[in-house]
Structures are given as C-alpha cells and as structure tokens.
Structure 1
Amino acid sequence: MYNFQDELRRALLKYALLPAILLALISLLLIVYSWHHYVLTGNYTARQGAAERIERMLVDSDEIMKQLENRINASALPLTGQVQDVEARAALYGVVYETVNQSSLPLEFYLTDAEGNLLLGSRRQLPLPLQDRNWGFMERLRQRQEPVAEFVRMGERQQDFVRGKALYKNNELQGYLLLAIAGENMLAQGQNPGIKLAVTDAYYNQAAAQGSVPVDGQGKLLPLVCGLNGGLAEVEQEVYYVTQSHLPYGVRVLAITPVRSLLVRYFMGGMLLLILLAVLLPVIFWSVQRESRLRAQTVEKLTSKAEMRELVSQFNPHFLFNTLENIKYMVKLNPAAAVKMVMALSALLRYSINNSVQQVRLADDLDYVHRYLEIQQYRFGKRLDFTEEIDSEVWEAEIPKLLFQPVLENAIKYGADKSGIKHVHLSISRQGENLQVAVCDKGPGFSPEALADWQKMLQMEENITEHTGLFNIHRRIQLLYGRDYGVSIREKAGQNCVTICLPYQRAKGE
C-alpha cells in the first residue's frame, strides 16, 4: 500500500543511502585512480622505459658486431702472432676502435686469436670467465659458428652481457670478437625512486638493479617475484607489485613497486569511511523514524478531524432536520420512498462511525456517497442533476476513507446554475499509475482572486483559513502519499472542477 512511510523510505534512500553509496563509490574511484596512476602506470612507465633502452642497446651492439666483423675481414690483417707487429697492431686497433667509438654504448671489446689469446681489448687481460676456451661462454662460442649472446658472471655480484662471434676466413677459424656491456650500465640513472628495477638473465640471476630488490644469497630473484607479471607478492613484511618484460637473448626486465604502505592507507581510509557511515546511518535512521512517528500522528489527527467533520457536516441538526422533515412528508405521500430514506440514513450513520479501518475500497466509499446522494436527491428532486463516469478497473482501488464526499457536498451547495439546477458530475479514472477523481459543477465559479487564494491555501503546511474541508483532504493525501499527489482546483469549459490525485493501488485481498 502506498503511504507516507513509502515516501520516507524513498527519502531515506535519497538522502541517506544514496549519499553513503555515492561516498563509498567516490572513495573506491579514488582508490582505483591512485592505484592505476601511482602503481600501474608508474610501474609500466619505468619498466617500459628500461626495456626499450636495453632493447636498443642489444640491437645496437648486434649492429656494431656485424660492422666490426665486416671491417676486420675487409682489412686483410691476419689474427695471428704477426699482429704483434706495431704497425699491424695499430692498424687493427684503429679498425676496431673507430667502429666502437662511433657508438654511444658503454662497450668493452676484446679480439683474440683462434687459441683465445688476447690481441686487442679495452683491458690488458680478458676477464677470467672468458679466458678458458673449454668452459662456459667460450666453449659455446667455439662449438658454434653463429654468434652467442648471454649474461656472463664476472664476479660475485656482477654480470655482463657478452656478445661473441667466431671470425672465419676461407672456412678457417681466425679468432674471436667479443663485445661486453656491464650490467650496471644497462639501467639509466634517475628513475622513479619508488620503483625498483632489475635486469636478469633467463634464469632470473640479477645482472643489474636500481634499489634493493628481493634476491637470495646467490643474487637470484626470489621465486615469488620471478613468477609474477602483473601481480602481488609478499616478501619479508613488504608487498610488491611486479611486472616484467622478456627481451631477446633471455634478458628480463622487472619493475618492482613496494605497495604495502599504500595498501595500509587504503585500509585505514576504508575503516574511517566505515566508522563514518556507522555513525551517520543510525543518526539518519533515527531521524527518519522520528519523522515517521510525527507524520503518523499528524495523519491520525487529520483523519480523525476529517471523520468528525463528516459526522458534523452530514448529521448536524440542519442536515438531520431537513432529512427527517422529508421522511415525515414521504411517510404520508410515498411510504416506500420514506423507508428508502431511513435505510440510506442508517447506512450513512453505520459507515461514518466505523473507525476500525482507515483505508477502504473505492466501491465501499462510493456506496456511501450514493446513499448520501440518494437522500439529497429526495430533498432537491429534479433540481439536482447528478451524473457519474467511473472506469470499471477502479472499483477495487484502495483509497482513504471518506475521501471525496466533502467535495460533492460543496458542489451541491454552490453548484447551481442560473436556472437553479445543480449540475454535478463525478468522474473516476485510472491515469497510468495514478487514480484521478474529479468533481465538476456549473456554479458561478471562482473569481481569479478567489482561485489564487484557494491555490495558495493548498500550498500551506497549516491551514489558517476557515475553509477546512478541501485543505484537510489535500494535506491528508500528501502526508499519506507524498507531495506529488493532492487536490487541485481549476475552471474547465465553463465548469468548476476539483480534482483529487492519488496513487492507484488495489485493495488488499483483491
């Protein structure tokens, strides 16, 4: 059933729950935005920048290797002991140095003979892991004619990316050309200090890092971190968001963002929001319950006033005197009509004094109205011209008791035309989800000033005029169903019309 409690529930939804949901949604959006901006975007930008830089270094070193191979082969300088000749050595060094110097890469180069003896290089000696032709990188290079590129451990915590190529001439091994990039030079300086970067080989052995990354005692990234690409890992009371890029030659670039403090802030913010809602919602619920009680009391008061007014207006001495006088004459002139008037009056009394229900079927209230009109018809005879137009689907609608009889009473009292005929028309119809009751008469109508006063009165919270009937109906409907419903007054096609609008609802049990 539609009532003022429905309106209060809607008000609760509008002014309490919706703001709470909106506040929670805004908080969630802020969390999503900060996570996306500070974690996802920052992590991606740092990793992508490092990966692009390293990939360019790999491509450039490959190009330098090809240029050196071509220039050494084109120089016709033998990679043998003859290179110990000062002039030959200088010429060979010039070929290599010129090519390497043209690049901005932090390269170290080494040129050996077929036995692995250093002929030329950035250092006086080959790094120890590159000195043994029968082990590790040099063994793989000796066994293949294709270039070899991989990370080589140069010390306890140092790994260099080494690219090697066996040099052949007339299908005869001449020597080896090696290019090395120190792992520590693969990452640019000045990266976001809140994001840790790591460069590893295919087995996640750390070659370079910015910041302290979670590794084991051998310098290898922990398994929890290695297996993530866009996920969270908790390591030693810290939570990391990890992404990685896979580059050629087994090179891995990982961006590792510590997020524990951010997650703690999210949690604390969520708890504060819950505490705020836990404090505000009971206050709002209490306010709504209080307003509900006040409105219930007001509705009950207005309903009682409406019922008392109906009793007084219908059964005041003047009404009873006229009715009883009519019955007295009817007993002599038309006993059957007198009996009907007595029965109608009895039905009016029973219906009016029954206070057990406040909501009734429209059919029951219409039956009451018809008995009232029956008495008035005996009184006015042909001077009362009453017609009605009622949709068949509205008979079982639920309405407040004694809703529109006062409107009919006013129409009968003031609705006589110039010839003295009281033309009163009652129409009840369903308009979408609303029930519309209209009572029209052909009386002299309202002056513009009087109509404005009536409409102004209907907008008041409390009536200060002597016109209580329409105001009580209007106020009662608005308290029950909300401000979208009530009474309106207008002139239409020479008729004065009072329209009552309320929600359409079938009576319970129907």
Structure 2
Amino acid sequence: MRFSEQIRRSFFVYALIPTLLLCVGCYIFLYSMSYIAQTKRNEQNTQVLASQLESELNFYEIKAEKLADLLSKEISHLDEKKWYEDIYTFMRQRELQCNFYIFDTDYKILMSNTTLIPEYSTQTYNWGIFKKMRLEPDTAWTMPNRTYLGHDKFTILSIGKAITQGEEIVGFIVFDIKEDSLKNMVGKNSQYNIMITDRHKNIILTTNESFKNENGKVRNDLADETGYLKLIDNDVYISRSTLFQENLYVYTISFIGFLDDLLRMGFLFLLIMIIVLLGALSFAAKKVANDKTKVIDKIVKGIEEVQRGNLETYLDIKTQDEFEFIATAYNQMLEDIKALIELNKEKACHSIQSEIKQLESQFNPHFIFNTLEMLRYTMKLDQETAYKIILNLSSILRYSINGGLSEVTIEEDLGYTRSYLEIQQFRFHERFAYSIDVYDQAEIYKVPKLTIQPLIENAIKYGFNNQKKLTIKISIRAVEEQLVIVVYDDGKGMSAGKVASINEILHTKGNQHIGLYNVHRRIQLMYGEQYGLSIISQLDEGTVIKITLPLLNS
C-alpha cells in the first residue's frame, strides 16, 4: 500500500474519532457550563445584593449609634436646624432612603423629616423596635417593621438606637427604610427574581408575588430550599445569602427551563455538523495525503543535517499549511539556538546586575489588590478621597516600573514612600499614623530604589497584630561617612528568638520571598558586605529597623 494511501486512511480514522469525541465533549461541556454559568451568576447576584444591603444597613446602624451618643447631651434642647441638616446630608448620600424620627420616652416625635406619625409609635404597649431598644439600649437594632405611608407606600425595615444619659433612656432615634428605595436597589438586578425575608420566613420584599403563600410568608415548597428544584411547574435555581447574624435572608431565583430547549436545538445542530464533517474529512484526507508527502523528505533531510551539527541548513517550503509552519519553526529554531549560544556568554558577564534587577522587582501584588478593593468602595462613598488614592497609586506604579533607575535620591524615594503611606492611611484611617524626619540635609544623598517602602510594608503586616493603632516613624540622617535610615513602629514587636532567626536569614543565603532580605541583599550587592540592615525588637515594645548606606551625592 502506498504511503500516501496509508496517510489518507490514518488521517481519516484518527481525525474522525477525536473529532467525534471533541464534538460530544464540547456539547457536554457547553451543557454543563450553561448550567454552571447560570448558577454562578445567580449566586454572585445574591452575594452582591446581600453585601450592598448589609453595607447600607450598617451605615444606618453606625449613624444611629453616633447620633444617639451626640443627642444624649442635647435631647432636652434640640437645635432642629442643626440636626436636620446633619441627618438630611447623611441620608442623601445613601442608596436606601428612609424617614427618620427622634422620639422622647413617651414615643412622642421630637423631630422628623416627615409629617407622618408611624403607627408603631402610637401603640399603648411596648413592642417591635421600641421593645428591642429598651431591653438593650446600648445596641443599634435592625428589624422588619412594615408601616403604611399612604398611597400604597410602605416602610419595611427599621434601624433604631436608644438615646441614653448614663443608665437612663431619654429618647430614641429610628430610621425607617422605604420599600420603594429597596425596590430600586433590587431593580438593578431585574433579570432575576429577588426575595428578601426575615428569619421567620416573613417576606419583606419580593419581585414575584407567586413566591408568597396566603399568609404573606415564603411558600412551603420554597422555604429553606436552595439549588435546583421544581417550582410552579418550572425548573428553577435558588441561591440564598444571610446577613445580620441570620436575621435577614436574600434569595435569588432563576428560571432555567429555557436552557433545556436551547440545548436540544444545539444537539440537533451538532448531528448535522457531524454528517457534513464526515464528507469533508474524506475529501480532505485524500488531498492532504497526496500533497504533504512531497515535503516530508525535505524536512527529514534538514533534521539530519542539524544532527550532524550543521546549523546553516535552512528549509524553503511555501505550501501555506502546517508544513510551512513546521519549516518556519525549524528555521526559527536554528536562529534561536545560535542566539542562545551568544546569550549564555553574555549572561555570565551580567549575573550580579540581573540579581539586583530581580530583587528590585519584588513588588507585593497584595498591596495593589487591597488598594483597588478599597478604591472600589471609596469611589461610591467619597469621590475626592478616591481621586487622591488614584493619584497616589499612579505615582507608586510609575515609580516602581521605571526600570531605568537603580539609585535615586532620598527626596525621590520619600516621594514614592509618602504616596504609599497616604494610601495606607486612607485604608486604616485613625488606626494608622506616621512621621518622617530628615536631618542634616540628607535628602540629597542617593539610595537604592525602593529601599524604605518594603520596611514600612513589613511593619504594617506584622506590627498591627490585633492592635487598635500603629504608628511608624522614619528618621534619616548623615552620620560621619554613612547614611543611616531608621524605621520604628510601636507594634507588637518580636521575641528575641524571632529577631535572631531573621538576622540569621539576613546574614546567610536568606529567602528571597522575605522583603527585608531583598532590601538587605540588594544593598550588599551594590555597596559591599559592610552595609545593610540590622533589627532591634522587643515583644510588646515595637521594632526598630536600621539601614546603613554609604554617603553618595546626587
């Protein structure tokens, strides 16, 4: 049998079987991925909506606690204009809108943004939100509380906090979340059916009334169910997320019956494609077998020449198919082999410079991820702060990717360091403070790029250690013929054994995944073994990291 015929038969058989398997596998994959994608989007929607809702309600709880603390001193002589402006400004910034009330201990309204008197404040007995606030006056409470506003409008959630003077309750502040506002938040995900309930399965809000039973609760065939199930003669997928210590539940319900119809149509289309493919493969196998055997000899001859050590044997094949690609790859391989021979010679002359550049590139991606995550929320809450964060992050990235600089002045490195510190201050707020002191006009001297920032990053990473606040102090001065940089933090500190372990890493081969080692190693590669880092730390007393460098004028 001719070789071309063997190729034709082999091509047909071995192309057909994998093709059939691939088609079937792709169909099964698409079938599975369709369901997985639908369920994943469903679950992501639930998580996002739950997160947004909990975030908004948390804002109201925090505001209620702050107002209760401030109002405790002024409730007997309220400055209505002052407090109304403060509360109104706060509510304008919130996605969930509400009515707010300040009550005295007899549930009489002292101040409000509406003339409506909520019916729950006119009852002759303590119940609901008022009962919770009286029983635990030090806690801000969030609970379902459906109140009629007129014109088919309701409030559906109340957030309240007792106002106390010492041990005595002197009033209450309550925010009533409006149903329309919550519907607008849910409406952003209108392609899904959304339901919000309390822990007793009472429906607070739903986009589909068929999920309710006659008592206004969740249907029995839906309660406590998640995943795939049959509901109202439809295939659905249900995901659920809890918030506020499982006091509220957010459901997302997707109807997925349409996927079965789409996949049946896809299967029919697949069968037609397989039949067409069989005919095409038969024709292509014969043509390929006849054409490709002509160039095989050329390729074999070229490979034999390379085996003999001849790196100047190039292939000239212009068939515009895989064999031309093989020939091109073969020719490129020869070029690469010759280039690698020269490159290996050059690498031997630049090993130290390569190590320095490698150590300079050890930039922690978690900082960028954390900053972008912080920026995502800050852009919603405080655009001016978000703008400052973006400027600082831009400055940091521009500085860190400038590969043309190995040495910079103290002034330049501190510019980058201040941007990094400001981002950390935006992140931790009042929990984080820092100071920078430069003496003896030391800002003119040169240091290795990215010298100070890894020390600050290390202090933040290990210094907090469940502390409420961390302070970092940076001191730079010229001492005799040396530049001394000291970074102090008042964090948890380290035991003597831990300090000894880190010093051992610094003075041996070390670990390039430790930021302190990267700084220490780079300094020694650039200036010599007499320079580098030293660490002094005591448990519960903080940590001092000292960098010693030569005095190099800019």
- TM-score scaled by structure 2? 0.42
Calculate the TM-score normalised by the size of structure 1: 0.45
- Say which one has the larger Rg: 1
Between the two structures, name the one with larger relative contact order (CA 8 Å, sep ≥ 6): 1
